Structure formats: structure tokens, C-alpha cells
């Protein structure tokens, strides 16, 4: 079993749609959780950290369920500029990071 | 603030040759990571340094890969000898907080694209 698993997609959605990505992790001792965004041929960039209480940043909402070892990202009112690969990242006690394979999103006009 | 610097940006070598990559993290960042990202996959952690000490190198293929961070700032990653399957982007990242102290934001460099022929 992979340490961090994501639905690879691709997700093809129209502008304005709401899309949700899911991620599961295997190590119950994981300490920190993130969503990163990676554009084609670019480096990953932090989108948002994920907290147990859930957190929202504009059109983006992230949630963590430690009991189910499950992380989600919701994007509302999708924009063309949201097209990218979204990487789920899980950190251990020493902040040793494990990345999922990424979920590819394409937002179409 | 200057970002994470990496060089070279591109490298083409033949199998069995050696190659080295260099990374200069953001000033003041104690933690430095090297990742390998094969096309279509997420980054895979190769090695993590805290200052000049190794925190995690469990996924580093130590028979051919080596890395060092002698003065706790710059780092080099070496492959010797290279294999075809080493073709990938090698990403360096740095972060500021110390392990176990809280959420860690990593900042990535632009990566080095390696092609092994």
C-alpha cells in the first residue's frame, strides 16, 4: 500500500464548477498535512496547510479526518487558472514528507 | 527574499556516467530536502537534512546516490553511476522550522531535469 494515495484523475470540469479531491494516508502517526499545487514543468508550491478543524482560504477548503486517515480539498467556482496538478502531502514527526502522485485538474471554458 | 537555487537546470548524460546537482536553500532555513520526481508521479523524498545532519535517508538508493551538506547550508546530490531509470527532475526544498515543532512549509527550487541516455 502506498503511504499517500490520491485519485490520479484527470478531472475535467467547466468554469464555475465545484470539484473535490480526496487523499488517504497509511501512517497513523503522521503529524502535518498539506495540499501543494504544481503547474506543468514547474516546482510544487504550497496551496494550504490542513488542520483537524478544517480550514478555508477563499474558494479553497481543506479538511482532515484523522480517524479515517483522510484529507480532502474542495475548490468552489473553478477558474481556468486552477488547472494544475494538486499534490497531497503528509509529514511525519521529523517533518519527513511523503507526497501523493497528484490529481490533475483541467478547468475548461 | 531569494528563493531556493539549484544548478544545473538541465543535464543530459549517458548511463554509467556520474552527475552532481547543487542546491542553495533560502537563507536561515535549517532543513533541506532532496526529492526525485519521475514524470507523472509525485516527488519522492530521497534525503532530509537538519543543518548538516541526516534526518531521513530511508529512500535514498545508497549504492549509487550520495548527498552531503557539510557546512549546513549548500548541499550536493551525486549519482554514480547513473542508470536509465534515474531520468527525472531532482527537486531541492528548504524549510525553516525544526522537526517536531509544528507545521512545516517547504519552498522548492526550480529543479534539475536529468536525462540519462
A44–B95 CB contact, under 8 Å = no
What share of chain A has pLDDT > 90, as a percent? 79
d(CA A30, CA A90): 7
- Least Cα separation, residue B20 to chain A (angstroms): 19
Cβ–Cβ under 8 Å, residues B14 and B74: no
Residue B51 forms contact with A (CB below 8 Å): no
E strand or H helix that includes residue B13: strand B10-13
**Chain B partners within 8 Å of A99 (Cβ):** 35, 42-45
**Chain B partners within 8 Å of A100 (Cβ):** 42
> Alpha helix (H) ranges present in B1-117?
none
pLDDT of residue B99: 53
- Least Cα separation, residue A97 to chain B (angstroms): 7
pLDDT tier at A47, thresholds 50, 70, 90: very high
Task: Tell how strand A84-91 and strand A103-108 pair up.
Answer: antiparallel
Residue A1 has pLDDT above 80, yes or no: no
d(CA A98, CA B12): 28
Residue B60 has pLDDT above 60, yes or no: yes
Length of chain A: 109
Residue B32 has pLDDT above 60, yes or no: yes
Q: Which has more confidence, A13 or B101?
A: A13
Cβ–Cβ under 8 Å, residues B24 and B73: yes
Give me chain B's average pLDDT, please.
92
CA atoms within 13 Å, Cβ hemisphere of B32: 31
B42–A31 CB contact, under 8 Å = no
Q: List the single residue in A with minimal CA-CA distance to B56.
A: A96
Residue B58 has pLDDT above 80, yes or no: yes
Residue B97 forms contact with A (CB below 8 Å): yes
pLDDT tier at B90, thresholds 50, 70, 90: very high
- Least Cα separation, residue B69 to chain A (angstroms): 17
- Evaluated on CA atoms B70, B75, B76, B77, the torsion sign reads positive
Amino acid at each position: 500500500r502506498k503511504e499517500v494515495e490520491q485519485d490520479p484523475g484527470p478531472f475535467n470540469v467547466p468554469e464555475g464548477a465545484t470539484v473535490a479531491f480526496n487523499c488517504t494516508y497509511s501512517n497513523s502517526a503522521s503529524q502535518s498535512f498539506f495540499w501543494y499545487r504544481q503547474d506543468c514543468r514547474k516546482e510544487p508550491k504550497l496551496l494550504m496547510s490542513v488542520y483537524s478543524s478544517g480550514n478555508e482560504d477563499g474558494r479553497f477548503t481543506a479538511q482532515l479526518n484523522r480517524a479515517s486517515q483522510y484529507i480532502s480539498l474542495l475548490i468552489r467556482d473553478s477558474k481556468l487558472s486552477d488547472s494544475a496538478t494538486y499534490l497531497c502531502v503528509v509529514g511525519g514527526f521529523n517533518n519527513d514528507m511523503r507526497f501523493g502522485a497528484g490529481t490533475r485538474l483541467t478547468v475548461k471554458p | 527574499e531569494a528563493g531556493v537555487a539549484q544548478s544545473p537546470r538541465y543535464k543530459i548524460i549517458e548511463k554509467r556516467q556520474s552527475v552532481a546537482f547543487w542546491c542553495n536553500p533560502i537563507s536561515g532555513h535549517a532543513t533541506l530536502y532532496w526529492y526525485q520526481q519521475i514524470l507523472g508521479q509525485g516527488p519522492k523524498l530521497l534525503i532530509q537534512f537538519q543543518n548538516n545532519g541526516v534526518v531521513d535517508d530511508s529512500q535514498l538508493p545508497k549504492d549509487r546516490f550520495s548527498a552531503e551538506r557539510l557546512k549546513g547550508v549548500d548541499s550536493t546530490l551525486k549519482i554514480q553511476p547513473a542508470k536509465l531509470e534515474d531520468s527525472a527532475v531532482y527537486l531541492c526544498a528548504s524549510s525553516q522550522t525544526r522537526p517536531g515543532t509544528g507545521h512545516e512549509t517547504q519552498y522548492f527550487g526550480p529543479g534539475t531535469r536529468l536525462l540519462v541516455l
